Structure 1
Amino acid sequence: MSNENQANPAANETLELLMQHASVRKYQDRPVGEDTLAAIIGAAQMASTSSNVQAYSVIAVTDPQQKAQLSALSGNQAYIEECPVFLIWCADLYRLHETAGPQLPDGGTFDTTENFIVATVDAALAAQNAAVAAESLGLGIVYIGGVRNNIAELSELLGLPELVYPVFGMCLGYPEGPAGIRPRLPLEGVLHRGRYEKEKTAAQVAVYDEVSKEYMLKRSGGKMDTPWSAMMVKRFAEPSRLHMKEYLLSKGFMQR
């Protein structure tokens, strides 16, 4: 069979879904059914996990009062209150500490920096599976890093034990209208071949700056044309959430 008659291997429903991802911040007043939520979390559970440790947990919050409290602790982001379900994705070594720990010399190695990384990555992989599953069912999501703004208070509200911390939140619900797709860096800006090609970094950022300026002009109705690099200058000008290290140490993470 000739190449012309074969289906394009880079075009299928899954890829089309992934390429249409956009953060959703406006939601319909429509509940997410328990069966739908179970399907989304079930898909999350099938994500890759280091050595099958499955070192994460997710807390689903639907109570309006509790969502309001979480919103206040996360930068007063209104969509936390407006979405029907707010998910908090947690790195979780407590479960393993309680079940495997008693059988291990000196309680095991749950306090190492490596296992902190493993748990954090596990949570992120599971969450992204959930995001794709949700979008395949017609729902939308937006990640909320703001759960780390007042992380100790938020952890207390959620009853998080030692060796559990909230990595991020995720608003979940049915979108109220279409959301704009934000362009990403050029492929050649992130794909390196054989070695890190640092000599091409600046050129690829310059290309992306032009794309991001056009996007911002369109998004703002001509009021803003800030390039991506300028946004990143502002983003990294001052440190943020410097309480994180002390908090993580207090929860038993990264002791060695």
Structure 2
Amino acid sequence: MNEVIQSLLSHRSVRSYENKPVDEKELDQIIQAVQTAPNWINGQQFSIIAVKDTERKKKLAELCGGQKHIAEAPVFLIFCADFYRTYLASQMEDKSMEAIFDIDTLIVGATDVGIALGTAVAAAESLGLGTVPIGGIRRNGLEVIKELNLPPYVIPVSGLCIGHPAQVPDQKPRLPKEAVYHTETYQQELMPLLEQYNDTYKKYLEEREQNNRSSTWTESVANFFSKSYYHGIAEMLKQQKFPGGEK
């Protein structure tokens, strides 16, 4: 097993950080790795905003639902789907940006952000840093847009805390390979695998050192998706001139 695979297989979400800055050279290496990652038509439909200011991190921590590790991390990166540069390119070339009205554009932006985010996590962890993605950046999207001065055609999709781990948590068990990896066609008979995973996941939650509780994976996921989690997403998309904000 090579060092890259070994680093990827060692991933944990870190929510506690030492009071120690991230070296600027290492942060630059992370960003360089992200910029080298694949993206749609080389349009590079993402941007990253690094927040290090203490007060701004505190404010973003509150906007994300009171996640104190955002304020604690020395660097908080916000990954945005970004078609503002595409808009400027269209203006420069005297072309109309018709594709912005197609919902596939939103998928493209989210995909580019996902690839960028995953690359940043892998790069940071290869340097011995800890990370945790923050979907809560969308919880109060309009306020985040204002705080970060985002132009039209740019939306926050995910945040990422980066820092030196103060604690290394237990690694969460993942679904059985057979539940996520299919050969040739999708195999739909998954309930036995989910029941098997429920036992593993429940045991993990009950035995872990911090925040132990009793729950199954299907219970957790079903509860999460039983209602809309973040409100105002359509309004955010409409304000930033993205498809999907028509409702």
Same fold at TM > 0.5: yes
Which letter maps to 1:232? V
Cα offset, 1:208, TM superposition: 0.6
Q: Once structures 1 and 2 are overlaid, which stretch shifts more, 39-48 or 246-255?
A: 246-255
Whole-Å separation in 1 of the counterparts to 2:169 and 2:90: 44
Q: Which of 131, 145, 154 is the matching residue for 1:141?
A: 131
Count of matched residue pairs: 245
Question: What per-residue deviation string (whole Å, max 9, x for no partner) do you get for residues 98-130 of structure 1?
Answer: 123442443442332112211111111011111
Matched, 1:243 2:232: yes
Whole-Å separation in 1 of the counterparts to 2:148 and 2:167: 31
Kindly report which structure 2 residues correspond to 1:110-129, keeping only aligned pairs within 5 A, or say none: 110-129=100-119
Matched, 1:214 2:189: no
Matched, 1:43 2:33: yes
Q: Once structures 1 and 2 are overlaid, which stretch shifts more, 93-102 or 121-130?
A: 93-102
Kindly report which structure 2 residues correspond to 1:20-39, keeping only aligned pairs within 5 A, or say none: 20-39=10-29
Structure 2: gaps of 5 or more residues = none
Q: Does the aligned pair in 2 maintain the 1:248–1:254 contact within 8 Å?
A: yes
| CA gap 1:164/1:74 in 2 versus in 1, 3 angstroms | same
Structure 1: gaps of 5 or more residues = 1-10
Structure exhibiting the larger radius of gyration computed from Cα positions: 1
- Match of 2:79? 89
| CA gap 1:224/1:106 in 2 versus in 1, 3 angstroms | closer
Q: Does the aligned pair in 1 maintain the 2:64–2:136 contact within 8 Å?
A: yes
Which letter maps to 1:214? K
Which letter maps to 2:243? M
Cα offset, 1:140, TM superposition: 0.7
Q: Which of 199, 215, 218 is the matching residue for 1:226?
A: 215
Q: TM-score of the superposition, structure 1-length normalised?
A: 0.91
Matched, 1:60 2:32: no
Whole-Å separation in 2 of the counterparts to 1:220 and 1:138: 22
Q: Does the aligned pair in 2 maintain the 1:62–1:84 contact within 8 Å?
A: yes
Q: Which of 62, 85, 88 is the matching residue for 1:98?
A: 88
Cα offset, 1:136, TM superposition: 0.5
- Match of 1:171? 161
Question: What per-residue deviation string (whole Å, max 9, x for no partner) do you get for residues 187-211 of structure 1?
Answer: 0011111111112x10110111011
Matched, 1:13 2:6: no
Whole-Å separation in 1 of the counterparts to 2:205 and 2:119: 29
Task: State, as a whole percentage, how many aligned pairs show the same letter.
Answer: 36
Matched, 1:155 2:133: no
| CA gap 1:215/1:52 in 2 versus in 1, 3 angstroms | same
Whole-Å separation in 2 of the counterparts to 1:196 and 1:65: 48
Q: Does the aligned pair in 1 maintain the 2:61–2:68 contact within 8 Å?
A: yes
Whole-Å separation in 2 of the counterparts to 1:157 and 1:176: 29
